[in-house]
Amino acid sequence: MAAIAIVTARALLGRRRTILMLLLAGAPILLGLLIRLSGRGARPANLEPTLEGLLVSTILPLVALVFGTAALGSELDDGTAIHILTKPIARWVIVVPKLVVAGGLTAAMLVVSTILSGILLGGTASHEIAVIVAFAVAIAIGSFVYVAIFLALGAATSRGLVIGLGYALLWEGLLAGALPGTQLLSVREYIRGIISALAPAGTLTSVVGAQGFVAAVLALVVITALASLRLAAYEVRASE
């Protein structure tokens, strides 16, 4: 698994993609810096809406989408994955290291961004630090769930990037927030549930609450298994 993980990491950290993702993940830090440089101090009231609206709802799904589809779907489409597929190894042995690397990269970028932008926006009072830590933990877990979804999409279709973008914008962005029932099948809601369980009381309200943690882990396991099954039945695309 280590060999697949190393190659995946090197492929994902291509120069252009890394710079773009660092810029995207770093946008909240830039925002915090601008606010501080403009002479205003920390505004704890801004902390939660910014972390939730910017990092959880927008930047996390996008970074996970880029790394998740690049880790498997792009390699299947450009043919480089053939050299890994034609080896006598179980398909989950291919999926898991890719999940660990792409999920880890997404989590690392997003957690650093959460902590730095959180401190710039909210200051270092103990209440704010507790909120920031809750967000960081939830975002780290959410990174892996999102990446698992985009890996599975990449294994299932050559249009993983487009379908993934549609899912992130329409399902997670619009529907899951608006319709009560859909929240039970929303990664964003699981993340909000974990935050509401970890952060000081009154930070966020969530339909799933502390069960968001269980739901996220369950989703991670089920989706990784589905991605492995899909890969086991993978058929080369664009044949003659």
Supply the minimum distance, in Å, between the C-beta of residue 2 and other proteins: 8
User: According to CB under 8 A, which residues from 120 to 149 bind other proteins?
Assistant: none
Region from 2-10, 60-68, 100-108, 113-121 binding other proteins, contact rule CB under 8 A = 2-10
Which residues have a Cβ under 8 Å from the Cβ of 58 and sit 6 or more positions away? 173
Taking the C-alpha atoms of residue 80 and residue 99, their distance in angstroms, rounded to an integer, is 17
Binding marks (x or -) toward other proteins, 78..97, rule CB under 8 A? Answer: xxx-xxxxxxxxxx------
Cβ pair 15, 102 in contact under 8 A: no
Supply the minimum distance, in Å, between the C-beta of residue 235 and other proteins: 5
Work out whether 43 is an interface residue with other proteins (CB under 8 A): no
Work out whether 3 is an interface residue with other proteins (CB under 8 A): yes
**Candidate list 5, 9, 11, 115; residue touching other proteins; CB under 8 A:** 11
Cα angle 196-188-207, degrees, rounded to a multiple of 5? 50
Cβ pair 151, 101 in contact under 8 A: no
Cβ pair 110, 29 in contact under 8 A: no
Cβ pair 27, 54 in contact under 8 A: yes
Supply the minimum distance, in Å, between the C-beta of residue 101 and other proteins: 14
Interacting residue ranges for other proteins, rule: CB under 8 A: 3-4, 7, 10-11, 78-80, 82-91, 232-236, 239-240
